[in-house]
Every structure is written in structure tokens, then in C-alpha cells.
Amino acid sequence: MENSQVIYRKYRPQRFSEVVGQEHVIKTLISAIKNSKVAHAYLFSGPRGTGKTTIARLLAKAVNCTDTSSYEPCNKCESCTEIMENRAMDLIEIDAASNRGIDEVRELKERIRFAPTHSRYKVFVIDEAHQLTKEAFNALLKTLEEPPAHAIFILATTEAHKMLPTILSRVQRFDFKKLSLTDVIKKLEMVAKKEGIKISDKALRIIALNSEGFMRDAESMLGQVIAFSGDKEITIEDIENILGIVDINLAIKFVDLLVKKNSSEALSFIDKFVNQGYDLVQFIESLITYSRKLMLVRVDNNLSRLVKDELSAEQLNTALKQAGEFSLVELSKIIEILLQTLYDMKRSSFPQINMELAVVEVCNR
């Protein structure tokens, strides 16, 4: 049975048409390939697990594919197969987190000087590029100012604000976004179908919600569940038990107790929750996320459009009713208390007590 890492790599998109989300990036890159206007330096910026490295590898395949009849890589020629099998001499991937110094960049510059082995371009992908030292940045800058015709640089970063302005001015920048809930579910459905796994729509939805728009996290979670569940159908209970994920319905039930200021029942809820083996940190994170939804719809019912994709129609109606039970000041204070409690719980030897103190404070506000 596949483990989570294999699932992620096994279903990594091999063509632009297979990429879920990031349409603005794909559209621009395809246009550049069609019109032979591929730039020599790009910056892919955005959260982890949103496809930066995947699209960098697709671009490397497309510019070196020997089948020029389409902008899509053919995945059959020698260049494409070498990249797919991680043995391409002309695709150099560097992790700047562990190769961040001036010596590494000097070595990189030496490699840049040499022409591609048998491809049109040498493509250099520098991951977590913001972690390069200032000296390394300056060394790289000179190469970006006068790049050799055979070289393409793709800098990937989760923290574009740490990149030097002089670097930013010499690259084409693409900002990657977290994926929508619909996009994540769509990809997970495809993976489950190809793996021959039966999984309920609600179970897929819970994984997608808890991935928070990061496809790699979603696929890793699905892979973990598949590895543990065997051939039986995967249910919501499996998701909760294997991943420790908390269904949002538990947060909704708990908020009902907060609405009633019923500290006794709320404390019993937590004790039962812990005794059943659930993770309190996961629960309070779910509670914070749901409380934010309440705050948004309390500010303005029209803001329900920001959360409707994450809730069923019934859950959204409940959220609207619950939000009406609190003032905006109360909701803000509750979220503030929960955030501080989460911070404290992660550093505490007695997280249950931290949670109980928060409940008493909220119910006696």
C-alpha cells in the first residue's frame, strides 16, 4: 500500500493540463512557451505545497522537450524522461536552506558557465531562495544581470519579502495562492479513483478542509489514511482516528455550550474528548477556525461568501444563528483567548488545564 510520500510523488502533474489551481501562472507560462518568450529568470513565490517546484519542473520539461508541436511536454523524449526519472543533468535543483553560502553559489556559477549536456537549456531551480546569504545573493545577482543564453533560473520562495530588491527587479515574479477547497477535493477524488479507494465525499471534504489549501498536505494525509485503512471504505471516523483530525461539527457543538455559558457541560465535553484519545491542540485549532467564521458573518452576513465553501448549507445556517448570540466584541475576545491558549498549550505539560482555564474564562466573560 502506498505511503503518503509515494502518493504525493506518484500523482505529481506531468503536464500543464494536470495542474490543479494556479491558472494565472500556467496561462502566462504557456503563452511564453508558445511565443518563444520564456524569460531567463523567474521567482515563484507562495506558501509551501502549492505547486512551485512542480511547475518549475514542468517548465524545465517544456523548454527542453524535443517535440515542439505543442507547449505541453511530450513525456516521451529523452529530455522529458530524464527529468521524470530524476536523472537529468541539465535540471539542477538546489535547496538554498542547506546550500546558502558564497562557496555554493560560486560552484553554481561554475556549473552555469558550461553549456547543457544535450538539452537546449540548463534550468536551475533554487528552492527556499530567501535563505541565501547576502554574499550569495550578490554573487547570484551578477549572473542574473548577464545570464548566459543557455540558462534559465527559477527561484522558489515562501518568503518573497526577504528577497533583495535588486534580485526582484531582475526576475519575472509569479505569486502562487493556496488552492480552493473545490480544487483540493477535485485532486483528491482523482487520486482516490486511480488508487481504487472508496472514500466518502464527507471524508474527502474533511481532509481538504484540514489541508488549508496546501495540496501536498492534502495528498500526504490521504496517503496516510490509505496506508492504514487497507481495502475497506474510508469513513469520517477513519479520518478522525488515523489523522487525529477534528470534524468541524464538534467545534459547532462546543460553541453551543459557550453560547449557553455552560461551563460545567463544556468541561465535561473536554474531559470526554481527551479520554476518547482526541488531540486537544487539533480541537482548539478547529475551534479558532470556526470562531473566525462566526466573527466574519457577525460583522456582515454578506461575508458568509468567504466561508460558504467550507461549510455545508446546514452548518452555515447554524453559524449565522450562533454568531447572532455573541456581540462582535465578545467574539473578538473569545478568539483572542483561544489563540493565547493554543500558544500556551503547545508549551505546556498540562494542555488540558490550559483548555479548561480558557473555557472558564469564556463562560464567565
Q: How large is the angle between the packed helices 351-363 and 328-345, nearest 10 degrees?
A: 170
User: Tell me: domain 181-243, CATH 1.10.8.60, correct?
Assistant: yes
How many other β-carbons are positioned within 10 Å of the β-carbon of residue 244? 14
Nearest Cα neighbor of 252 from 289, 208, 210 is 289
Rounded to two decimals, the pTM is 0.74
Topology of the domain covering 22-175: Rossmann fold (3.40.50)
* 8 Å CB contact between 106 and 112: no
CATH of domain 248-363: 1.20.272.10
Each residue's pLDDT, cut to its tens digit, for the chain (365 residues) gives 445 557 878 888 999 999 988 999 999 999 999 999 999 999 999 998 899 999 999 999 999 999 988 999 999 999 999 999 989 999 988 887 776 666 777 777 777 878 888 889 999 999 988 888 877 787 778 788 888 889 999 999 999 998 888 889 889 999 999 888 889 999 999 998 888 888 888 888 888 888 878 888 889 888 888 887 766 788 877 787 777 666 788 899 999 999 999 899 999 999 988 887 778 888 898 899 899 999 999 998 888 888 877 777 888 889 999 999 999 999 999 999 999 999 999 999 999 999 999 999 999 87
Q: How do the domains of the chain map onto residue ranges? A: 22-175, 181-243, 248-363
Q: Select from 202, 215, 198 the least CA-distant residue to 245.
A: 202
Q: Which residues contact 145 (CB under 8 A, 6 or more apart)?
A: 170
